[in-house]
Chains A and B, each alone.
Chain A
Amino acid sequence: MSATIALGRQESAARLRRQAWVERLRLALRTPSLLIGVGVLLFWVILAIFAQNIAPHDPLAPDILHKLQPPSADHRFGTDGLGRDVLSRVIYGSRGILVAAPLATLLGTVVGTAIGLIAGYFRGLVEDVLMRITDAFLALPTIVTALLVLASVGGSTTTVILVIGLGFAPIIARTVRAAVLSEAQLEYVEAARLRRERAPYVMFVEILPNVMGPVLVEFTVRLGYAVFAIATLSFLGLGIPPPSPDWGLTISEQYTYLISNFWWPVLFPALAIASLVIAVNMFADGLSRVLER
């Protein structure tokens, strides 16, 4: 009986699995938000890598005689308060955030996932303690936590990555814990205990692969907030120190010219941030659509 059933489906496993991937890819190609997100992200990554070749001027070279020039053929985005080329600064300015944001998010995801797994799997006292601490951190907006810490230790790219990353950990831990809780109720976890698996094996080998979907989505969503938060910290003067062409920093330096209607040194980096943030979020939205099918 079943032997024949099975034989009829000989081809199955490997091919079915390949099919599933092909299908997912096809779905991805039919999800516009994902495509746009990836496209814009790639655009910025390429600009960052080839900044030397693409940027028309030195982003740091001041030219006091030509400060606050409106956009022209030589300076397509105009010049800033120190006469530096805005276009070149926008191109170079992508470098800092394109490194810091993913690293911070990665840090937050790794730490948060570990905490979430442990809290969701062990329950009881361990869970209570971890979740209370998480709650306490959640009571503070990431920006405020960052202010508190950066006031003590001072700003640098490394500290910003650490602060944002660890600031995200509790949020990610919440999401992961919720996923783990519903996962841990499934009987395959009990089946593992019935062959005396150790807790780390159950957590990381049995449960983790099943919560990777939410973790991945959370990663992309957080990536958007990382861009948001890092740019904001730079703007507040607590992130990457000058004279970096970092977008947030540039805006805070040039912001005062806005009142006098010198809009270009501010608007272009602002649009750059906007495009990056929207791209990351569209990517996140698209990815979750593809994964939830």
Chain B
Amino acid sequence: MASQSRAALEVTDLKLAYRVRGRDRIAIRGVTFTINKGESYGLVGESGSGKSTVAYAVMRYLPDNAKITGGSIVLDGKDMLHMDGDDLRKLRATAASMVYQNPGTALNPTIRAGDQLIEAFVIAGVAKGEARERALAMLGRVQISDPQGVMGRYPHQLSGGMQQRVVIAMALASDPTLLILDEPTTGLDATVEAEVLDLIRNLRATFGTSVLFISHNLGVIARMCDRVGVLYAGRMVEEGPAWELLTNPRHPYTVGLLRCIPRWGLSKEVGPLDTIPGFPPGIGAAIKACVFADRCGLVQDICRAEEPGLDPVGEGHASRCHFSDIAQTLPRAERDMVKRPPVPETARAALSIKNLRRTMTQQGNSFQALAGVDLEIAAGEVFGLVGESGSGKTTLARSVIGLGVPDAGSEIDLEGKKLAPRVGQRSLDQVRAIQIVFQNPDASLNRRKSVRQILGRALTKLTGVRGERRSRRIVELSESVRLDAGLLDALPRQLSGGLKQRVGIARAFAGEPHLVICDEPTSALDVSVQAAILNLLVRLQRDRNLSYIFISHDLGVVRYISDRIGVLYLGRLMEVGPADVVFSAPHHPYTEALLSAAPSLDVREEHRIRLQGDIPSAAKPPSGCVFHTRCPRKLGAICEQQEPPLLEEEPGHFLKCHIPIEDLRRLQKPEAADQAG
């Protein structure tokens, strides 16, 4: 059949419904897009917008309750929707491949990685004898340093980054026309993510594969794609060349989305982040006209009467809005932050951590999760903590709140008084003084308790109020996090992610704490919701003049909210300093690599530093400087033999590196100009 068409994939007016509780509920409301041969097309949108559904529809791998109710999908000239089982199988074996989130579960745990890869070659038509050679070669191409070894290993013996490389190798085995990547790096560390993204870009260049790249992260999309489509509630609302769309958005939703992101170098001093009010319509919601009308700041009567078409607004750029020409005048949703004078010094937190060590055992091996951390956090200060997973961020937080017992010799003082290691041994005042906001509100709120019960119990236990006064305090508390009193009797599952996180924040504030630990409080949320939560956290902190330890893997977020930042690596602080200082050169070589790995919307042509390999196991930390195995600026033997001390190189700026700060400043000059902007 003719597969000479120019398009790798043509999706036309795709409509799809999921059957939920006996009714078909529409999830994809007519989506049209085309991916040309060799092109990389990005699909963005918040969670639930239908990105994955579109991807699986293309592969014709949908759950039983899904039903395609209209439209067509043509892959490489072949109609996917009218294809029988055998042809479909052949097409999957040769023309299209898919890589998705969670490489750990994508590989079969009981079959060696090599055999799974060989299988992919065999099914694509390679002779059995040759398949092994080809598999080895492919592992080399996805930059696996020891292909022979990896072939013989089981998935659980590979790190996340390696697993994803194997999955990618498998996807490329058939030299497919179209490669679908559904959030392929979500859940990987930024440094690993950067490597995997580079790899995908390079492979695409060599293989000439067309790519459908799905992500909620606009920075990643900007880096990876030629053209982008923005999906909202199962409808394509804007489409255009990636750079053009991200710098000159023409749909109010895209405009709002871009404003929510804490951009490079943006800090709370500049002002609150913008947010998008309201919620996206759920699946099955009846929508008569513009899908975005309920949340749009530019909405007019016509928007509710008539759906706008996806009309051209520029070269290859189209927007589904009646007012796309004035989309960028979208009013700011967030009122300017009221800067109240700081409250009289009631809330004082001065935390002092000396030589904090924590030895843990995992499967019989003991390792140091924290290897002697010294830190001072002043009253009213927001201290940001960054580092790859496993670097000890959470361990540090848990030691401070008294849920993890540090090794003997460690000392944590709050306002000059020593804190007992366990929360049970601390005085009530000390317990009230330090509270935490957890990452995942689904896990941190008891599903069987109403908001009122959750807040009420915290108030009673921490402040002893009861009866009428308690009811009043509950309302005050919920108002302070802008949670409507009407929701007090709701159960957590009846609230959206952002509202749930507000409950978590309110609970942490019940006892008037002096220090609140925020452990990735926005990582589970979409950017528009994240922005609102960040604004709330900033306001609460300013109103009460208290301190935060703010943990996040998102550097933009940390930069936005923090006054000072510490960078952890393998349980050691590598750099500590004021936020703007840490974010501008000279940096510690590790910080430099982290910053350069972070996907951003602002750096177009990258001069990036890549870290080789994975984080070494904490059970066997490298000798000397623990970063020497990956350090691009390693000096030589001294780095392998001697551990550098954490020294105050300039006032308030601490570095743990053998390279003198002046040399770092000189070395990092060219990028410094790029990034400080």
- Hey, which bits of chain A sit against chain B, CB under 8 A? 1-10, 12-14, 16-17, 23, 186-188, 190-191, 193-197, 206, 209-210
Contact = CB atoms under 8 A, between A and B. Distances in A.
A254 B92 CA distance: 66
Given A12-B487, A194-B435, A196-B423, A2 B457 contact: no
Interface string B466-485: 00000000000000001110
Contact of A6 (B435, B446, B486): B486
B462 A6 contact: no
Interface in B258-313: 275, 277-279
Given A13-B490, A17-B491, A196-B428, A3 B482 contact: yes
A291 to B, nearest CB: 14
B486 A186 contact: no
A197 B484 CA distance: 28
B431 interface: yes
Contacts of A209: 446, 448
Query: Interface size bucket, B side?
Result: 35 or more
23 contacts: A1-B333, A2-B499, A2-B532, A5-B279, A7-B484, A9-B487, A13-B488, A13-B489, A13-B490, A17-B491, A17-B494, A186-B443, A187-B440, A187-B443, A190-B403, A191-B436, A194-B423, A194-B431, A195-B431, A195-B458, A195-B511, A196-B461, A209-B446
Given A12-B487, A14-B489, A194-B403, A2 B502 contact: yes
Interface string B633-653: 000000000000000000000
Interface in B394-431: 401-403, 423-424, 428, 431
B20 to A, nearest CB: 11
A191 B494 contact: no
Interface of B: 21, 275, 277-279, 333-334, 401-403, 423-424, 428, 431, 435-436, 438, 440, 443-448, 450, 457-458, 461-462, 482-484, 486-491, 494, 498-499, 502, 507, 511, 532
Contacts of B507: 191
A26 to B, nearest CB: 9
Contacts of A196: 423-424, 428, 431, 461
Contacts, number: 100
A190 B458 CA distance: 13
Nearest to A208: B448
B457 A23 contact: no
B484 A10 contact: yes
A190 to B, nearest CB: 6
A13 B478 CA distance: 15
Contacts of B435: 194
Given A23-B21, A194-B403, A195-B458, A186 B448 contact: no
B482 A210 contact: no
B450 to A, nearest CB: 7
A227 B337 CA distance: 67
Contacts of B333: 1
A13 B487 contact: yes
Given A187-B443, A206-B446, A10 B431 contact: no
A210 B436 CA distance: 23
B21 A191 contact: no
Contacts of B334: 1
A192 B184 CA distance: 36
A187 B507 CA distance: 13
B446 A194 contact: no
A5 B278 contact: yes
A206 B487 CA distance: 21
B424 A9 contact: no
A66 B444 CA distance: 71
Nearest to A191: B444
Nearest to B445: A188
Contacts of B278: 4-5, 8
Contacts of B450: 13
A16 B490 contact: yes
Contacts of B402: 194
B423 A193 contact: yes
A210 B482 CA distance: 28
A186 B431 CA distance: 20
Nearest to A30: B22
A12 B448 contact: no
B277 A13 contact: no
A2 B483 contact: yes
A126 B21 CA distance: 44
Contact of B494 (A1, A10, A16, A188): A16
> Which one of A6, A8, A193 has the highest number of Cβ atoms from chain B below 10 Å of its Cβ?
A6
A86 to B, nearest CB: 46
A194 B401 contact: yes
Contacts of A190: 403, 438, 444
A155 to B, nearest CB: 42
Contacts of B462: 195
A81 B461 CA distance: 70
A112 B614 CA distance: 46
Nearest to B334: A1
Nearest to A207: B446
Contacts of A188: 443-446
